[in-house]
Structure 1
């Protein structure tokens, strides 16, 4: 088992891109606990949407709730990813106080050279607490897996994409009160993780209703656009005007537009740095929230 990393601790960044419940409502903001998880559920190719809880149980902000969200660090040593099977989970404010509620889930992938603590480092906990606490978005669960420096293959050559769709999603749906249907599930990522999120969503459109590429490393925009459009996914793309990866997002947006895809592109000032993503976290959360609302 790997050590528990602080939700705010510094993490070593290697190269740039080419590529949270039990806690009570009075928990400390962004606190981290080490979750001794139950055995993982059986591995399936993809969780059947029809067998999952209905989105009608979706939670709204708990009246009078002023507590922050809680973060858990979960070990998943029995996964195909081995030492990289851990993940961080953000549970929204007063999750434990609303046992009858279910929540949509966003799977957030880190960038190249980082790990499951990266989204915590750029400020997602504070951004989510603020957005949910002020009623800007509905409560949601955020899952941040560790894909290793480059999201390489795991035990037996299992790809990260297969791990996420066949192992991680069933594990999360069995362990947390998620809305375990396409309408309550989205995926997104930063940089290399953004490109991978787009690819995973394109290959498993029955699992996700939306995908966000945040300064994504885009490969083969035409093929990617064809799959995303055919799958009926809502797509968000953003990239700094001074980012060397800008052209990939612009090309993908053009291809998606040409095919009638549901896409939104933002090219604000900025480059490929942590501060850029920190500055736009509220926008990302708004996109995912609006996508869940549109899918109900």
Structure 2
């Protein structure tokens, strides 16, 4: 529903406070339950409690009793958290494991809204504080969904911490394949204010009492209108040019109406609300822990789990009325509700620099496909918005919308695991063209893929010549069939190997596209050989293309990230020539 802006691990690690307790000026805290109220702000302290180190306890296996604060874990092994590359036990172990830590939370921190920042965990986790579940990322087997690349940030309910006393943080995790564990920080409990500037990049000061009251009144009216289904009233609370993580005013109202038809009256819950003034734009910001609750056949349904949200408000210059204007973010997660897959399917969206300021302009689209065991959120760890912005600004690339679908390890094909290809073509792509100002035609769409995604770029592009006109691959698995589904399915998919498909395609067909593909000389999977084979086949057929095997490098980010410009330039030149 409310979509998520993402930033990088590196930004958080570089800027995060590591002192045990840092006193600053008084902040503000809102109500602990129900809709926001205009009560006086509570006095709090801003602090950061670093929980990284070698005092953690670790045990492989799984037992729900291990989440309880009174459990005796003295017989467990000690562990360093985080540990680069993961803890050694996971080198030869796949499955469940638990981490536990006892720590004291200073009494002086009472009343401060807290967020548990847990860094990077490979692959999925559920986290408990004092026996209470505070958050989860990814899903466990049998419906496993790795989110190893996702920064864990879990708002802590005010009733859960024990101030001036012993607390227990317990993390249940599962490593699906290969190495794993708790590999990156920061790890600790932080005030919301400590996170705002260092993690989210927000520079803000506390709003005045009257400003706070005005914002809370708007939020309360919004919550009441949503619950009662008064959509005209809710729409009126949004600025005419409202834009928040991909939502226009029309789309936001439409999505909420759709949710209310599925789950009945929707209750928007805002807790621990702090109202601030943005130093850069002057907008008022509500920093809130927000969730949405409805009903389904079994009772109460959590439609959107609690997460820290930043709501932006400004006054209409003509009327003076306070309206929610949106964050105007250009990088965020979106999703499509797939009937074919029977689930929500995420995709990340990058919008070009002029998108918000030029509301009538339309843009070409690049679909950027990740590698195996990846996901839509992984691109934030590479600062993809900053990278593309720099390419556009410094190297004169055409502005484009970039869409990064979540494909897990599904190889971008239909299989018994998922009708992924059908979902992508029939549901995700049309949603992108409806929701964003794309130039909806073949010559204005390109595909770039990494590893498994390089395979997908070729097979999707060739399977849908009416939709795509440029294909690029970095370290692509071009000489493999799609490794999705049962062993029998994999065996039957040999005809979907790009280096085999190219032999059966005519020169006329192949020449309808522009191509770039690369790999590094010491690729761990010998995909450099696949580049040579594809190069030879296209050359023999007289098809124009560009390919390169770099003299050094393996199958990792160091091989392809510095060369993202090459594939995006391919698309840029193609867009400009049409």
**Aligned with residue 224 of structure 1, among 502, 514, 524:** 502
1:263 aligns with 2:551: no
| 1:108-163 CA-partner distances (Å, limit 9, x unpaired) | 11000110123333343222111222351011000001011334777987532222
CA distance in 1, matches of 2:246, 2:437: 19
The aligned residue for residue 107 of structure 1 is: 367
Aligned to 1:251: 533
CA contact (8 A) 1:173 1:180 kept: yes
1:239 to 500, 509, 519: 519
What whole-Å deviation, never above 9, does each CA across 1:75-119 have from its counterpart, x for those lacking one? 223343344611111001130111221101001110001101233
Q: Relative CO higher for 1 or 2, CA cutoff 8 Å, sep ≥ 6?
A: 1
**Residue pairs, 1:140-179, within 5 angstroms:** 140-151=400-411, 159-179=419-439
2:332 aligned partner: 72
Correspondence 1:89 to 2:349: yes
Contact 1:184 1:209 in 2 (8 A): yes
Q: Report if aligned partners of 2:333, 2:377 keep a CA contact under 8 Å in 1.
A: no
SS in 2 for 1:237: strand
C-alpha distance in structure 1 between counterparts of 2:351 and 2:339, whole Å? 22
Q: How far apart are residue 176 of structure 1 and its match? A: 0.6
Distance 1:81 1:123, change over 3 A: farther
In the alignment, the residues of structure 2 paired with residue 2 and residue 270 of structure 1 have an alpha-carbon distance, to the nearest angstrom, of 40
Change (3 A) 1:179 1:152: closer
CA contact (8 A) 2:446 2:571 kept: yes
Relative to 1, partners in 2 of residues 1:218 and 1:290: Cα closer, same or farther, differing over 3 Å? same
Asked if the contact 2:455/2:477 (under 8 Å) is kept, the reply is: yes
Structure 1 residues 248 and 217, CA gap change in structure 2 (3 angstroms): same
Which moves more between the two structures, 220-229 or 248-257? Answer: 220-229
- Cα separation, partners in 2 of 1:260 and 1:187, compared to 1, 3 Å: same
Match of 1:131 among 387, 391, 396: 391
- How many Å separate the matches in 2 of 1:128 and 1:260? 32
| CA separation of 1:154 and 1:238: change in aligned 2, threshold 3 A | closer
- 2: CA distance, partners of 1:211 / 1:192: 14
Q: Is the 8 A contact 1:69 1:90 kept in 2?
A: no
User: What does residue 121 of structure 1 align with?
Assistant: 381
Q: Verify the 8 A CA contact 1:189 1:213 in the aligned structure 2.
A: yes
Q: 1:97 to 1:283 in 2, by over 3 A?
A: same
Q: Which residue of 2 aligns with 1:8?
A: 8
The alpha-carbon distance between structure 1 residues 141 and 84, as it changes in their structure 2 partners (threshold 3 A), is: same
Q: Indicate how the Cα distance of structure 1 residues 199 and 77 shifts in structure 2: closer, same or farther if over 3 A, else same.
A: same
Alignment match, 1:181: 441
Structure 1 position 225, deviation (Å): 5.2
How many residues end up aligned between the 2 structures? 255
2: distance between equivalents of 1:15 and 1:151? 17
Whole-angstrom distance in 1 between the partners of 2:389 and 2:347: 19
Segments of structure 2 that go 5 or more residues without pairing to the other structure are 10-119, 121-146, 150-175, 179-199, 203-243, 256-327, 480-496
Computing the radius of gyration from Cα coordinates, the structure with the larger value is: 2
Q: Which stretch of structure 1 is more off in the superposition, 166-175 or 121-130?
A: 121-130
